Structure 1
């Protein structure tokens, strides 16, 4: 059986979802244009024309969905360049592209439907389509499709803002009442951050953090992680427990992030004079999840698990290790035989009564 990469699966899923939305909204447009007061006698109805109208709608939905899916994929590949542009310029650019693509779609749909119906295309057909593009009806279609595509992109932005699936949970009120969940937390922090901040200055240092977290996004997408929060030069990644442990995703994501940083070493050396390195602390277990806030809502996690993960990450400098984890995680990860795990010590962590066994994770092979 052909095994697809996660990125490919995500692209296919996004492609099919966007196409489905477009088909639904194109049929909805047709429904809204119907005049219920006009009744056509049965003997005057043209079954073939009715089938063609349905075919035109399907063609329109698939074509618009396909074109805008490809545009969406292109936008996703240019995230780093777009991040440097103002929202105003992005909106203006997208509006112009939308107008051009909609005109192209109308021409293609008109030509294909005419060819399917009578088997040929003549000059009059082309002129009729051109005339339609200049009409008030086309302007209505343009506004309608613009609202649809903008809505789809807005949903994707919200999804990126809150993390995959979080927006749906907020809308459904899933965590309105605190719920017990089992999660994995990975804290990652820039090494020697104070030294670098003093050396670079606050503006250059901020640009460094932006670059690092842009590269991190690639690894996050690859290993199904969610970004829980950014705290200065620190980032917290989370997974449902079983998902994060499976195939050691919660460990692999750290080393893939390192690889992305190393691949762009020329950029970091020329821009900042060094290649950034991160340290990490990993822990997992059962804690509470709840929707918090009124003006700004989010899903927050409360419990000892997250505090312990933070404390473990804070020990990296003391033991001169880049990646530390608790015994609980190591026990579940060891079955994958992907990394070497070295016992460090059984320690009293700040704020904890019971000692925690700490292990160092060392990369061997992926």
Structure 2
């Protein structure tokens, strides 16, 4: 029996969503243009030209969706390599690939349609397809499909920029008025960052941070985290509270990130002379979420919860620990007790009147 992890399921879901979008797009094209290709030769009497047209539209949607769905998966798998390429070069090569795939799709639709209707492919059919590729209709189709494809990619880029689900919340105005939400916040910061920055210089140090956060992305996807902020060499990850606590995601992600760094230890040692290490602090609770900004909009969180998480992470050096958590998190994680929690101290954090119980977390 085949088993799929969450990343695999997400890829499959995205794949079928893209197919559905393309099927919808080709029917919209049909409505806008009333495009009815000329049907040559005899066709079965019980099938009308309109039905053949619908068959061609469905086939076009399926083929376009499948082909560009596979291309989308390929692009996602090559994100790290593509990130280092200029947008101009990416757009140029994508345009060429798009035209090639569109031609391939037209041939596939024509061949599949003939096989379904007549059970064979004639030379005349192939010649008609070749002639169609040279016609003005073909160039209109290429333009339309390119716009659809570009819109899908643009939406994905914007969604990636804001974080999964945030773009939809902004479009729907979900947080136009501040709302109470319960969230988990995990702050992670590079250890000895000042020393490393002085040793490497700003160019090499920036490359180090890029590499680290690229490896972090693997863990983020695995444990369904959202990246709230990058702040220099620090990153803030968030979950809805129950999601972050479930299966100890907000804890496991840190140690999985360490594993990914360790797997690439040769790269880090050869490139920078050391294996980067991070420290972390986690806290959760109820706070306010609101859409902020005019020129640049985003969803921001306001409240003591996020400040406390930041302060807890800041105590890692003082107690010589790599991962600290508040009592609330440790208590709610008791059901998923796969880690070692040790009480550190009852601390008065800066800016807080009440002391907070701090725990160290180890594997």
Equivalent residue number for residue 18 of structure 1: 18
Answering whether residue 208 of structure 2 is matched by residue 214 of structure 1, we say no
User: TM-score, structure 2 length as denominator?
Assistant: 0.96
Deviation at 1:159?
Answer: 1.0
1:57-97 Cα offsets, whole Å, 9 max, x none, are 11110110011111011111111111110000011111011
| Aligned positions of 1:234-245 closer than 5 A | 234-245=234-245
Task: Give the match for residue 144 of structure 2.
Answer: 144
Q: Which residue of 2 is the match for residue 361 of structure 1? A: 361
SS in 1 for 2:48: helix
Q: Distance in 1 between matches of 2:147 and 2:77?
A: 23
**Which residue number in structure 2 is paired with residue 77 of structure 1?**
77
Alignment-derived partner of residue 336 in structure 1: 336
The 2-side partners of 1:176 and 1:2 are apart by: 43
| TM-aligned CA deviation for residue 51 of structure 1 | 2.0
Counterpart for residue 299 of structure 1: 299
Question: SS in structure 2 opposite 1:4?
Answer: coil
Runs of 4+ more than 6 Å apart: none
**Which residue is 1:313 aligned to?**
313
Aligned counterparts of 1:2 and 1:354: Cα–Cα separation in 2: 51
Number of the residue aligned with 1:111: 111
Q: Tell me what 2:188 maps to.
A: 188
Against the structure 1 CA distance between its residues 222 and 141, is the aligned structure 2 distance closer, same or farther, given a 3 Å change threshold? Answer: same
The separation in 2 between residues aligned to 1:320 and 1:69, in whole angstroms, is: 48
Q: Which residue of 1 aligns with 2:38?
A: none
Q: Distance in 2 between matches of 1:119 and 1:17?
A: 31
The yes-or-no answer on 1:266 pairing with 2:263 is: no
Deviation string, structure 1 residues 147-166 (Cα, Å, up to 9, x no partner): 00110011111111001110
Q: Distance in 1 between matches of 2:15 and 2:54?
A: 22
SS in 2 for 1:358: strand
**Structure 1 unaligned residues grouped into runs of 5+:** 36-44
Report the counterpart of residue 88 of structure 2 in structure 1. Answer: 88
Partner of 2:59: 59
The aligned counterpart of 1:101 is 101
Q: How does 1:278-289 map to 2 (within 5 A)?
A: 278-289=278-289
Paired residue for 1:161? 161
Deviation at 1:46, TM superposition (A): 7.2
What are the Cα deviations for residues 232-257 of structure 1, in whole angstroms up to 9, with x where unaligned? 00000000000000000001111111
Mapped to 2, the partners of 1:361 and 1:141 lie a distance apart of 58
3-state SS of the aligned residue for 1:276? coil
RMSD: 1.4
Aligned to 2:275: 275
Match of 2:230 in 1: 230
Aligned position for 1:346: 346
Task: Give the structure 2 partner of residue 201 of structure 1.
Answer: 201
TM-score, normalised with respect to structure 1: 0.95
SS in 2 for 1:55: helix
User: What residue number does 2:27 align with?
Assistant: 27
Distance 2:3 2:104 in 1: 35
Report the Cα distance in structure 1 between the residues aligned to 2:52 and 2:258, rounded to whole angstroms.
55
Residue 333 of structure 2 aligns to a residue whose secondary structure is helix
Gaps of 5+ in 2: 36-44
| Other-structure match for 2:133 | 133
